Amino acid sequence: MVDSRDVKKHVEGRVASLSASLAKEFELHWNAYAARPGPRAYGRNTLKLASRLAGGGQAGVAELRVSDPINDVLDLALLLEGADLETVSEAEQSVRLAGGNAAALTPPMVEQMVAHLHQLAETGAAAADELGAYRP
């Protein structure tokens, strides 16, 4: 957000704007961050899934055993996208802009991502197996 009082201070100064293509790319990135549903939305939706699996009623232990791992998969995906890739971005900026040591920054970053990707694959496979039991 921009406060008009802040802009007014710089009326006499130089004003910069984005090119049309850069403005479009910025809008795409902004919307991706601002509009993604996140944990609350998918948490509600996995509970709705459990209810559907229970025939529309109150979800029991068996149905939650299906929906909980799906929620866990989405949590891990959000962790990978939010924290791990943010670490990549920070490391890249550190190297490119501040002369950081890429050889020191890269291995722990890769190890963390590999561990999360393996965990995501295992949790995803378990979730698929649990949900697969409800196939017609």
Which string of DSSP letters, residue by residue, matches 31-81?
HHHHH--HHHHHHHHHHHHHHHHTTSS---HHHHHHHHHHHHHHHHHHHII
Does residue 29 belong to any structural domain of this protein? yes
CA 85 – CA 29 distance, rounded (Å): 14
Does residue 3 belong to any structural domain of this protein? no
Number of domains the chain is built from: 1
pLDDT per position as a tens digit, 40-96: 889 999 999 999 999 999 999 999 999 999 999 999 998 898 889 888 888 888 888
Does residue 10 belong to any structural domain of this protein? no
CA 112 – CA 80 distance, rounded (Å): 9
Does residue 126 belong to any structural domain of this protein? yes
Look at residue 96 in the predicted model and tell me its pLDDT.
Answer: 83
**DSSP assigned state of 13:** S
pLDDT of 107 over the 80 cut? yes
pLDDT of 15 over the 70 cut? no
Give 119 or 94, the one with higher predicted confidence: 119
CA 109 – CA 103 distance, rounded (Å): 11
Averaged pLDDT, 19-32: 81
Look at residue 18 in the predicted model and tell me its pLDDT.
Answer: 78
* Residue range(s) defining the domain that contains residue 107: 18-132
Question: Cβ contacts of residue 26 below 8 Å, gap of 6+?
Answer: 18
Does residue 34 belong to any structural domain of this protein? yes
Could you tell me the pLDDT band of residue 26, with boundaries at 50, 70 and 90? confident
Look at residue 97 in the predicted model and tell me its pLDDT.
Answer: 85
Does residue 107 belong to any structural domain of this protein? yes
Rounded to the nearest 10 degrees, the angle between the axes of helix 61-79 and helix 102-132 is 160
Does residue 64 belong to any structural domain of this protein? yes
Question: How much is the mean pLDDT over the chain?
Answer: 86
Does residue 4 belong to any structural domain of this protein? no
Tokens of 1: 């957000």
- Contact (Cβ atoms closer than 8 angstroms) between residue 116 and residue 80: yes
